Amino acid sequence: MSLHTNTLKQLSTELKSKSVSSVELTRHFLDRIEKFDGDLNSFVTVTKDHALAQAKQADELIAKGKAGPLTGIPISQKDIFCTEGIKTSCGSKMLDNFISPYNATVVEKFNQAGAVMLGKLNMDEFAMGSSNETSFYGPVSNPWNTDCVPGGSSGGSAASVAARLTPASTGTDTGGSIRQPASLCGITGLKPTYGRVSRYGMIAFASSLDQAGPITQTAEDAALMLNAMAGFDAKDSTSVEKDVPDYTADLANNLKGLKIGLPKEYFGGGLDSDVGDVINAAVDQYKKLGAEVVDIELPNSGLSVPAYYVVAPAECSSNLSRFDGVRFGYRCEDPVDLEDLYKRSRSEGFGPEVKRRIMIGAYALSAGYYDAYYLKAQKVRHLISDDFKKAFEKVDVIMGPTSPNVAFNKGERSDDPIAMYLSDIYTIATNLAGLPGMSVPAGFANNMPVGLQIIGNYFGESRLLNVAHQFQMNTDWHTLMPDVFK
């Protein structure tokens, strides 16, 4: 078995037994990035010297017997997390020249855990997109078929893990941006409960929805990553002050008596029948493991897309107003006055999708429209949240498809924003409600991966990871990778 096919757990064991050093492991992955990423475009920045320096320090810790579970293991960061002294672009022209003066809390936590950062990963511009085609650095390709999109906005994170260019990566999920690309690339992605992972130093898109999480090969690896990422942070006012359990502790629990809710709304029109067949087969596997299936309803879930596309653009129009060409980021040449500086810096620095969402958001928040749009969307958000609360009175987890279809061709939906927005129809509701959710590989349709979505109750990540891990102990979908990258 090659080093790059090993899980984080396996790599950790090999490092501790000294059968491989962190420097050797880091070089192996840096070589793979150099060899294969030309076909994928998953990295914006490769931090070779930085990574090798971290690997050398990790080897010293391992030699002293001071290693933790992630010490010496290479990972990669979505380019939305600020990294001190290293470019943090957010996939945009606006921040193409931005060198962060500090680390995001997530980055700092991985540094403290002894992990090695291989580089910064490509993403949709300011995390706005479902296909990773809006990046200033060009689209990312899906490793299973490079003519197809990897999903977005964490497309670089998902593609790099699926092609085993990095053992694991971080992503962010505002409306499905960890789970949807994980589904389309055939890997495991976890969006934790809102407030479980600090947002400090994570460039904001929609502050009440954004949440960071891990993208990995397996649920066990996701648990190891979340152990490092989760926790209260006084620098983030939305961070929840709650003890962090050991997310690996309950992985081995059996699933006898587990109650799985299947929402009828997730299995109706709009779902590709081949994708539906894969999801039903995955649910049948859970029945064999002792779980009980309960039919449930989420009556307001159909309103999640319109509610989201009022709330998220409203928050983004507010958050992105800081990019004005004055203090940092892109600045137009030779502005004639302050107004010209603002107008041209923004019109030249932002891409079409970001401009579209800023305009929608500014309109929804404007005088005379706030009550009609934003306030109404927030009321719908409460209804969606209440639907989940009622469902979790009857069931332990909710399951369904992560995406209504498999990865589509690049350019296929570029001219149709509504079709693109509907890619996230099954994932958005969990963000509006602040719930944890994950996607695990469940099979293939039309030779492309299909993800099973598992949604848990608030701070129920341990149960989610247990449910996913038991599925992966009885299937091998998560072990498969595209032949061309082996």
Three-state secondary structure readout of 405-468: CCCCECCCCCCCHHHHHHHHCCCHHHHHHCCCEEEEEEEEECCEEEEEEEECCCCCHHHHHHHH
Q: How far apart are CA 218 and CA 205, in angstroms?
A: 28
415 pLDDT more than 90: no
Cα→Cα distances 462→227, 272, 465, Å: 11, 30, 5
Q: Give the pLDDT score at 368.
A: 85
User: Residue range 200-212: average pLDDT?
Assistant: 96
Residue 252 lies in a domain: yes
Over the stretch 264-289, which tens digit does the pLDDT of each residue have? 999 988 899 999 999 999 999 999 99
Residue 172 lies in a domain: yes
Which carries the bigger pLDDT value, residue 424 or residue 469? Answer: 469
Name the average pLDDT for the chain: 96
Residue 36 lies in a domain: yes
Whether the ω angle into residue 153 lies within 30 degrees of 0, i.e. cis, is: yes
Residue 296: band (very low, low, confident or very high) from pLDDT cuts 50, 70, 90: very high
Residue 135 lies in a domain: yes
Residue 132 lies in a domain: yes
Q: Give the pLDDT score at 420.
A: 85
Residue 421: band (very low, low, confident or very high) from pLDDT cuts 50, 70, 90: confident
Q: How far apart are CA 215 and CA 278, in angstroms?
A: 21
Centre a 10 Å sphere on the Cβ of residue 474 and count the other Cβ atoms it contains: 11
Over the stretch 136-192, which tens digit does the pLDDT of each residue have? 999 999 999 999 999 999 999 999 999 999 999 999 999 999 999 999 999 999 999
Give residue 27's domain range.
3-258+395-485
Three-class DSSP category at 110:
helix
Residue 471 lies in a domain: yes
Tokens of 359: 């305009």
1 pLDDT more than 80: no
Domain count across the chain: 1
Residue 180 lies in a domain: yes
Residue 423: band (very low, low, confident or very high) from pLDDT cuts 50, 70, 90: confident
Domain containing residue 84: CATH number:
3.90.1300.10
Over the stretch 51-107, which tens digit does the pLDDT of each residue have? 999 999 999 999 999 999 999 999 999 999 999 999 999 999 999 999 999 999 999
Nearest to 170 by CA among 111, 234, 246, 248: 111
Which sequence positions are flagged as catalytic?
78, 153, 177
**pTM for the complete prediction?**
0.96
Q: How far apart are CA 415 and CA 120, in angstroms?
A: 28
Three-class DSSP category at 70:
coil
458 pLDDT more than 80: yes
Q: Give the pLDDT score at 330.
A: 96
Three-class DSSP category at 172:
strand
Q: What percent of the chain has pLDDT over 70?
A: 100
Residue 209 lies in a domain: yes
Which carries the bigger pLDDT value, residue 298 or residue 268? Answer: 298
Q: Give the pLDDT score at 422.
A: 82
